[in-house]
Chain A
Amino acid sequence: MKTPALHKFQPLIAALEAEPLTDHWPETLTGCYISDLLSDVLAHAEPGMLWLTIQTHRNVVSVAATKDITAVLFTCGRKPEPEIIAEAEEEGIALLTTKLTTYEASGKLWRAGVHGENDHE
């Protein structure tokens, strides 16, 4: 696996019009993955990525932890329950929410320079 280019996380929060739900977030990202299917994320997401999804149940945290995903952005204004946010804090996973749709958010990310860096298997 090649070493992915790192993207500064802080400027992306504003670009995504995102509201952080957890107290801490990573300095950098290795890239981004978008899916609402958990197995698909387990199969294709890479460590250190930002994951965009509309799923808000606690399995999102489990899947993110399983794949060492560092941040999850819930789109369409979705917010998980407080205990799920607490679980994410414990796992060291940043959670954010935005009113943007997944499509809009991904466009903002691309414009901010976060391009597809996945090894397509």
Chain B
Amino acid sequence: MHLAPASLLDADAGDARKISVAQVLVYELRVRDAMSKPPITAAPTDSLRTIQELMKSRRISGVPITREGSLMGIISIEDIINALDRGYINDPAEAHMARNVIGLRDHYSLLRAVAEFDRHEFGRFPVLDSSDRLVGIITRGDITTCLMQHLERRAEEAIAQEATLRASRVADEAADRVVVRAHVRTGDYDSAGKVSQRMRQVLRERGVPPEIRRRAAVVAYEAETNIIIHSLGGEIIATIDPDKVIIEAIDVGPGIESVDQAMQEGWSTAGRLPRELGFGAGMGLPNIKRCSDALDITSDGQKGTRLRSEICIRKPGATP
């Protein structure tokens, strides 16, 4: 019995410039991963007739002949045809088996196995472990089936991994976003600054520079007091993302008669009580505008006012 020499395979393994998944698998997978096991064997004393029945019932075309696990020879379907032809089908296997059998080690790569099939033009190889025990049989069909199964598994793994990545990215984005929102009641001067306070806390924890924290806080505070002083109630929402803070103030009206006028410093429609408390200086919207990187205000008498301010967060040292 011979084992295929390694030197024969170097030529086939040579060109590794373009490597597909299948090629990687051919390197990675071993003969033991693809072989049929346990092998269907016969004893040296079994008749060729018995082996013929075995081939028919198990739908195989070659049977290794073993004694106590050691490979003695092999009977192929050609040997059976010859036996039938020449009339010795009842002889024992040991009388006609091929004795110089070429086997493959179970640890060989499939690449090497393919090269052996090309070289020897056999339909199958017996597979031996490192103690020369017969552990399986391998055919080209086994290699193809094994590769197909692994390609399919790799594809499924890749899809699953991509899905996991996508899910974790969505989770990360969701985790990075903090939304602080509160219902704001008209005339509730004592509650002014609640959203602003919580937002400042989040920004501080995130290490946002103080100057940006203050700007966001002024916008939230002024927007909140605007709802308290001027509207019939509304909501303030601060959405804190890693790169920006969006402050939205939505009230149910009455709207601002003239946004242009309200944007002028000192122009105020606040009543006596808020003015006594130090509100209504006519500086709310100008303050918001000065502190925002982007500002959008829409207002009408029926639907109230929607204010949306954006403050960019630039980390210290980062170029804007």
B279 within 8 A of A: yes
Q: In the complex, what's the smallest C-beta–C-beta distance from B184 to chain A, in angstroms?
A: 14
Chain B 213-234 interface residues, beta-carbon cutoff 8 Å to A: 214, 217-218, 221-222, 225
Contact residue among B214, B281, B282 (Cβ-Cβ distance under 8 Å from A47)? B214
| Contact (Cβ within 8 A) B278 A67 | no
B193 within 8 A of A: yes
| Contact (Cβ within 8 A) A66 B218 | yes
Q: Secondary structure at chain A's binding surface: helix, strand, loop or mixed?
A: helix
| Contact (Cβ within 8 A) B200 A59 | no
| Contact (Cβ within 8 A) B277 A57 | yes
State the interface size on chain B (CB cutoff 8 A): 24
| Interchain CA distance A112-B220 in the complex, whole Å | 36
**Please, what's the 1-or-0 string for A16-33, where 1 marks a CB less than 8 Å from any CB in chain B?**
000000000000000000
| Contact (Cβ within 8 A) B210 A47 | yes
B189 within 8 A of A: yes
Across-interface contacts of A66 in B (CB, < 8 A): 193, 196, 200, 214, 217-218, 221
A15 within 8 A of B: no
| Interchain CA distance A14-B196 in the complex, whole Å | 34
Across-interface contacts of B277 in A (CB, < 8 A): 38, 55, 57, 59
| Contact (Cβ within 8 A) B214 A39 | no
| Contact (Cβ within 8 A) A59 B278 | yes
| Contact (Cβ within 8 A) A62 B192 | yes
A5 within 8 A of B: no
| Interchain CA distance A53-B278 in the complex, whole Å | 10
| Interchain CA distance A54-B94 in the complex, whole Å | 115
A8 within 8 A of B: no
B242 within 8 A of A: no
| Contact (Cβ within 8 A) B221 A37 | no
B283 within 8 A of A: yes
| Contact (Cβ within 8 A) A59 B281 | no
Across-interface contacts of A67 in B (CB, < 8 A): 214, 217-218
| Contact (Cβ within 8 A) B221 A62 | yes
- Once A42-B283, A42-B287, A66-B218 are accepted as A-B contacts, the answer to whether A57 and B197 lie under 8 Å apart by CB is no
| Contact (Cβ within 8 A) A42 B210 | no
A53 (CB) vs chain B CBs: closest residue: B278
| Contact (Cβ within 8 A) B283 A37 | yes
A37 (CB) vs chain B CBs: closest residue: B281
A61 (CB) vs chain B CBs: closest residue: B193
Across-interface contacts of A65 in B (CB, < 8 A): 193, 197, 200, 217
B290 within 8 A of A: yes
Q: In the complex, what's the smallest C-beta–C-beta distance from B123 to chain A, in angstroms?
A: 84
B224 (CB) vs chain A CBs: closest residue: A62
- Once A38-B225, A62-B221 are accepted as A-B contacts, the answer to whether A68 and B281 lie under 8 Å apart by CB is no
| Interchain CA distance A54-B221 in the complex, whole Å | 20
| Contact (Cβ within 8 A) A42 B192 | no
| Interchain CA distance A43-B284 in the complex, whole Å | 9
A63 within 8 A of B: yes
Contact residue among B196, B210, B287 (Cβ-Cβ distance under 8 Å from A43)? B287
Q: In the complex, what's the smallest C-beta–C-beta distance from B207 to chain A, in angstroms?
A: 15
10 CB-based A-B contacts, threshold 8 Å: A39-B281, A42-B221, A53-B278, A59-B193, A59-B225, A59-B277, A59-B279, A60-B278, A66-B217, A67-B218
Q: Which chain A residues have a beta carbon within 8 Å of chain B's beta carbons? A: 36-40, 42-43, 47, 53, 55, 57-60, 62-63, 65-68
Nearest 10 pairs of A and B residues by beta carbon: A62-B193, A39-B283, A37-B281, A66-B217, A39-B281, A38-B278, A55-B278, A42-B218, A43-B287, A66-B221
